[in-house]
Amino acid sequence: MSNVLWTELVRRLTPYVPGEQRHGDNIVKLNTNENPYPPSKEVLKAIAEVDGDMLRRYPDPESRELRECLAEYHNLEMSQVFVGNGSDEILALAFMAFFTNGQPLQYPKLSYSFYPVYCDLLGIEKQVHELETDFSINMTLFEDNRGGIVFPNPNAPTSLAAPVDAIKELLARVPHTAVLVDEAYVSFGAQSVVDLVKQYPNLIVSQTFSKARSLAGIRLGAAFANPELIEALSRVKDSFNSYPVDAVAQRAGIASLRDETYHRQTVAKIIATREETVAELEQRGFRVLESSANFIFVSPANGNAAALFDELNRRDVLVRYWRSDELAAWLRITIGTDDEMKKLLAVIDEASLVV
Amino acid sequence: MSNVLWTELVRRLTPYVPGEQRHGDNIVKLNTNENPYPPSKEVLKAIAEVDGDMLRRYPDPESRELRECLAEYHNLEMSQVFVGNGSDEILALAFMAFFTNGQPLQYPKLSYSFYPVYCDLLGIEKQVHELETDFSINMTLFEDNRGGIVFPNPNAPTSLAAPVDAIKELLARVPHTAVLVDEAYVSFGAQSVVDLVKQYPNLIVSQTFSKARSLAGIRLGAAFANPELIEALSRVKDSFNSYPVDAVAQRAGIASLRDETYHRQTVAKIIATREETVAELEQRGFRVLESSANFIFVSPANGNAAALFDELNRRDVLVRYWRSDELAAWLRITIGTDDEMKKLLAVIDEASLVV
Q: Residues A109-121: pLDDT tens digits? A: 999 999 999 999 9
CB burial of residue B166 (10 Å; 0-12, 13-18, 19+): middle
Specify which residues B331 forms β-bridges with. Answer: B298
Write down the CATH number for the domain with range B8-38+261-351: 3.90.1150.10
pLDDT tens digits for B258-277?
999 999 999 999 999 999 99
Neighboring chain A residues of B86 at a CB cutoff of 8 Å? 241, 243-244
Q: Does A24 touch chain B (CB under 8 A)?
A: no
Q: Does B123 touch chain A (CB under 8 A)?
A: no
pLDDT tens digits for A119-134?
999 999 999 999 999 9
Flag if B217 and A55 touch (Cβ within 8 Å).
Answer: yes
Q: 3-state DSSP call for residue A130? A: coil
| Closest-CA residue to A219 (of B266, B237, B245, B79) | B245
Q: How confident is the model at residue A355 (pLDDT cuts 50, 70, 90)?
A: low
Tell which A residues from 196 to 215 touch B, by Cβ distance under 8 Å. Answer: 201-202, 210, 214-215
The region of weakest confidence among A68-77, A143-152, A320-329, B220-229 is A320-329
Q: What is the mean pLDDT of residues B186-194?
A: 98
Residue A303 distance to chain B (closest CA, Å): 30
Q: Most A CBs within 10 Å: which of B17, B56, B124, as the mutation test of the A interface? A: B56
Q: Where in chain A is the domain with CATH 3.90.1150.10?
A: 8-38+261-352
Flag if B214 and A36 touch (Cβ within 8 Å).
Answer: no
Is this complex's ipTM strictly greater than 0.90? yes
Q: What is the mean pLDDT of residues B55-79?
A: 97
Nearest beta carbon to residue A10 from set B54, B227, B232: B232
Neighboring chain A residues of B209 at a CB cutoff of 8 Å? none
pLDDT tens digits for B298-332?
999 999 999 999 999 999 999 999 888 889 999 99
Q: Does A50 touch chain B (CB under 8 A)?
A: yes
The fold adopted by the segment(s) A8-38+261-352 is: Aspartate Aminotransferase, domain 1 (3.90.1150)
Residue B302's φ and ψ, nearest 5 degrees, are: -85, 0
Q: Where in chain B is the domain with CATH 3.90.1150.10?
A: 8-38+261-351
Q: How confident is the model at residue A325 (pLDDT cuts 50, 70, 90)?
A: confident
pLDDT tens digits for A136-185?
999 999 999 999 999 999 999 999 999 999 999 999 999 999 999 999 99
Architecture in CATH for domain A41-260: 3-Layer(aba) Sandwich (3.40)
User: What is the structure's pLDDT at B352?
Assistant: 77
Radius of gyration of chain B (CA): 21
CB burial of residue A75 (10 Å; 0-12, 13-18, 19+): exposed
Tell which A residues from 67 to 86 touch B, by Cβ distance under 8 Å. Answer: 85-86
Q: Where in chain B is the domain with CATH 3.40.640.10?
A: 41-259
**Helix extents (H) in chain A:** 8-12, 41-48, 52-56, 64-74, 86-98, 115-122, 164-173, 227-237, 247-258, 260-283, 305-314, 338-352
Nearest beta carbon to residue A55 from set B99, B176, B215: B215
User: What is the structure's pLDDT at B324?
Assistant: 86
Q: 3-state DSSP call for residue B128? A: strand
Q: Does B16 touch chain A (CB under 8 A)?
A: yes
Rounded to whole angstroms, the Cα distance separating B288 from B345 reads: 14
Neighboring chain A residues of B247 at a CB cutoff of 8 Å? 217-218
pLDDT surpassing 90 at residue A69: yes
Q: How confident is the model at residue B2 (pLDDT cuts 50, 70, 90)?
A: low
Flag if A246 and B242 touch (Cβ within 8 Å).
Answer: no
pLDDT surpassing 90 at residue B21: no
Q: How confident is the model at residue B3 (pLDDT cuts 50, 70, 90)?
A: confident
**What pairing do the DSSP bridges indicate for beta strands B295-299 and B126-129?**
unpaired
Radius of gyration of chain A (CA): 21
pLDDT surpassing 60 at residue B28: yes
CA-based max dimension of chain B = 59
Q: What is the mean pLDDT of residues B169-183?
A: 98
Q: Does B92 touch chain A (CB under 8 A)?
A: yes
- Residue of chain B whose Cα is closest to the Cα of A235: B15
pLDDT surpassing 60 at residue B160: yes
Neighboring chain B residues of A54 at a CB cutoff of 8 Å? 217
Rounded to whole angstroms, the Cα distance separating B80 from B273 reads: 35
Rounded to whole angstroms, the Cα distance separating A275 from A243 reads: 40
Flag if A241 and B43 touch (Cβ within 8 Å).
Answer: no
Nearest beta carbon to residue B7 from set A56, A92, A97: A97
pLDDT surpassing 60 at residue B96: yes
The region of weakest confidence among A272-276, B140-144, B169-173, B322-326 is B322-326
Tell which B residues from 316 to 355 touch A, by Cβ distance under 8 Å. Answer: none
Q: Does A100 touch chain B (CB under 8 A)?
A: yes
**Residue B107 CB-half CA count within 13 A:** 25
How many CB atoms within 10 Å of residue B263?
18
pLDDT surpassing 70 at residue A192: yes
User: What is the structure's pLDDT at A15?
Assistant: 74
Neighboring chain A residues of B65 at a CB cutoff of 8 Å? none
What percent of chain B shows pLDDT beyond 70?
97
User: What is the structure's pLDDT at B1?
Assistant: 46
Mean pLDDT (chain A, rounded): 95
Tell which A residues from 284 to 323 touch B, by Cβ distance under 8 Å. Answer: none
Q: Does B21 touch chain A (CB under 8 A)?
A: yes
Q: Where in chain A is the domain with CATH 3.40.640.10?
A: 41-260
User: What is the structure's pLDDT at B258?
Assistant: 98
Q: Does A94 touch chain B (CB under 8 A)?
A: no
| Closest-CA residue to B42 (of B263, B218, B211) | B263
Q: Most B CBs within 10 Å: which of A1, A88, A234, A239, as the mutation test of the B interface? A: A239
DSSP annotation of B320: B
Write down the CATH number for the domain with range B41-259: 3.40.640.10
pLDDT surpassing 50 at residue B173: yes
For the entire predicted model, the pTM comes to 0.95
Q: 3-state DSSP call for residue A296? A: strand
For chain A, the first-to-last Cα distance in angstroms comes to 38
Q: How far is CA A285 from the centre of its chain?
A: 28
Nearest beta carbon to residue A217 from set B2, B55, B240: B55
Q: What is the mean pLDDT of residues A326-348?
A: 96
Neighboring chain A residues of B5 at a CB cutoff of 8 Å? 98, 176-178, 201-202, 228-229, 232
pLDDT surpassing 60 at residue A1: no
- Angle (CA) A64-A65-A71 rounded to 5° is 85
Specify which residues B332 forms β-bridges with. Answer: B297, B320
Q: Does B221 touch chain A (CB under 8 A)?
A: no
Residue A254 distance to chain B (closest CA, Å): 15
Residue B235 distance to chain A (closest CA, Å): 6
Q: 3-state DSSP call for residue A276? A: helix
